[in-house]
Structure 1
């Protein structure tokens, strides 16, 4: 097995997260058994799978003597919320560069969901006007350069934590799935997750190679085009493998990404996602959000009927994102 990179690991979250069979849902849908990996229960600031990436990213930040963590995302970002919480636990300042259409701070009425928690966590918030997520990351680099000129030692984390170091944080997720599926006596026929920055999907692909598993990984894009997202994942997998001491080259065309469930775009609810949210809440007591996990679950429900059959097993990665539900109170109240 390749070596683990010689970096200082931070220790955030409670692991292993549970793997649960959604028995009522599987019965309703028919066909394959549907399981959920509860990474919404990692335990840091309302949980989420981003804690896994932050274990390696912030460990690397500590190794490099950083005093400030700089990252970016839209107002709905779960990543920036968990980054702020984890930075607090290490005594590091968190500066969050936030995409806002007017480059202005939100008033008190805007403090809800993840943004409310960013405020409570005491993170420094820097609002910028950006037409795209790529523009936002460029703005973040400018903010970091200003900090350096002030004598600070910032450690920059790309949006969503998508980086080779971030992808390494998901190696243990694959190991957990292997142990748990063996314990429950079933073969994983597919792993499905929401894919935004591409970090978790990169980590799952990397983890397959690292642990010699061969789980098909299906990403449901919630913002980027298939081409852009596949290229990002291919690059991050290759570079992360180098850090782990082995060669792994995945062609963009071999990365499975679905855009059928995106709808009109990022953070815009779809009818299928809202139906999935209602179904999971009322049949399984499992909460999903309209931006990320709701759209991914819409993909699970569709594929369970069209691609998978009785006797097969789909594992859905619940990446978290529950604070985002409160940004959609009007839409959800109509369910």
Structure 2
């Protein structure tokens, strides 16, 4: 990762992650060729793209002398699970502030099971929105300081200029891998939640000079909410590395066509994508993040791109989430056994 020496980075992932062509899927769909950037193989606790942002965030935490990290998110969060794993690897304590609407019981499945296995301290907040978790983290931080600890807060989803810096390396990897494969990249497509990944990819395009088209498929926020977050984060992250860069609003391409009924609620298109990828490519997706975004990538490949063009789907991870949706995934195939 080409970042200035003054940007500390904790070694958490295994890079570069592979770039693989989805030949059977592309042949079946027609339209543009689909590729997958396997950021589900970053190596830390079932992997995921959030390992990249956590590299720069934990780098800053260690540089600041922190002994405890605090982050937040929904119980399905991949970022939360990977934060717990990163803390374990680096010998730090970790507190996870989790949204629990109306005090509902939280099943110990998927990411939540792993949070327990990783030894994280869990704090539940009975709130209606993820935004309400930020004050809860501040309260935890104050309590820890009163006890003599040195806490470091990582925003939900890693959304911050420091977190965005972690994805510069992903773009640089793709530039080299596409050259090695002899292809041009016509679009990078992925699940966009907090906006951190999309901010980092846009910044990575600036740093590399490649300016690869970036299309975020939101899985929770509206376009109106997500786009200004990304614009702010890109420009703030650029300043951290001494890059005087501005981004036009139209360069932030976000689509909300594939959310379905809402965050973490399986969609018919997403479930169909999970089934198709498993049976044509042996690639596992989850209903919350990658299933929905792959459904969007396939739709774009057929309806908005041409044969011969290349779409890279960034597999952002989420494998543990498969086990939280056992009934939905088994579905009509329950009789297959």
TM-score by length of 1: 0.96
Q: State the Cα deviation string for residues 236-262 of structure 1 (Å, max 9, x = none).
A: 101100001112222444311111100
Answer yes or no: is 1:228 the counterpart of 2:225.
yes
Q: State the Cα deviation string for residues 235-289 of structure 1 (Å, max 9, x = none).
A: 1101100001112222444311111100111000100000000000000000000
CA separation in 2, counterparts of 1:70 and 1:257?
29
User: 1:86: Cα distance to partner?
Assistant: 0.7
Partners of 1:68 and 1:152 within 8 A in 2:
yes
CA separation in 1, counterparts of 2:23 and 2:17?
18
Q: State the Cα deviation string for residues 179-228 of structure 1 (Å, max 9, x = none).
A: 00000000000000100011111000000001101211000000001011
Specify every segment of 5 or more residues in structure 2 that has no aligned partner in the other structure, as ranges: 333-337
Partners of 1:267 and 1:290 within 8 A in 2:
yes
Name the stretch that deviates more: 241-250 or 269-278.
Answer: 241-250
CA separation in 1, counterparts of 2:243 and 2:45?
34
Partners of 2:285 and 2:291 within 8 A in 1:
yes
Tell me which residue corresponds to 1:56: 56
Q: State the Cα deviation string for residues 74-129 of structure 1 (Å, max 9, x = none).
A: 000000101101111111001000000134774xxx11100000000000000001
Specify every segment of 5 or more residues in structure 1 that has no aligned partner in the other structure, as ranges: none
CA separation in 1, counterparts of 2:138 and 2:327?
36
- Aligned to 2:82, the other structure's residue is in SS state helix
CA RMSD of aligned residues (A): 1.3
- Aligned to 2:331, the other structure's residue is in SS state coil
Tell me which residue corresponds to 1:274: 271
CA separation in 2, counterparts of 1:130 and 1:240?
30
User: 1:325: Cα distance to partner?
Assistant: 0.9
Name the stretch that deviates more: 135-144 or 246-255.
Answer: 246-255
Q: State the Cα deviation string for residues 49-76 of structure 1 (Å, max 9, x = none).
A: 1111111100100000001000001000
Q: How does 1:125-144 map to 2 (within 5 A)?
A: 125-144=122-141
Answer yes or no: is 1:19 the counterpart of 2:10.
no
Tell me which residue corresponds to 1:33: 33
Tell me which residue corresponds to 1:177: 174
- Aligned to 1:168, the other structure's residue is in SS state helix
CA separation in 2, counterparts of 1:27 and 1:253?
32
Partners of 2:258 and 2:293 within 8 A in 1:
yes
Partners of 2:34 and 2:310 within 8 A in 1:
yes
CA separation in 1, counterparts of 2:98 and 2:295?
28
CA separation in 2, counterparts of 1:252 and 1:272?
29
Tell me which residue corresponds to 1:89: 89
- Aligned to 1:233, the other structure's residue is in SS state helix
Assess, with a 3 A threshold, how the Cα gap between structure 1 residues 32 and 197 changes in structure 2: closer, same or farther.
Answer: same
Partners of 2:31 and 2:303 within 8 A in 1:
no
Assess, with a 3 A threshold, how the Cα gap between structure 1 residues 104 and 150 changes in structure 2: closer, same or farther.
Answer: farther
Partners of 1:7 and 1:63 within 8 A in 2:
no
CA separation in 2, counterparts of 1:317 and 1:245?
27
CA separation in 2, counterparts of 1:102 and 1:5?
46
Q: State the Cα deviation string for residues 1-53 of structure 1 (Å, max 9, x = none).
A: x9625032210111100000000000011011100000000110011011111
Tell me which residue corresponds to 1:288: 285
Q: How does 1:188-203 map to 2 (within 5 A)?
A: 188-203=185-200
- Aligned to 1:114, the other structure's residue is in SS state helix
Tell me which residue corresponds to 1:330: 327
Partners of 2:188 and 2:311 within 8 A in 1:
yes
CA separation in 1, counterparts of 2:148 and 2:226?
35
Partners of 2:164 and 2:196 within 8 A in 1:
yes
- Aligned to 2:101, the other structure's residue is in SS state coil
* Alignment coverage as a number of residue pairs: 331
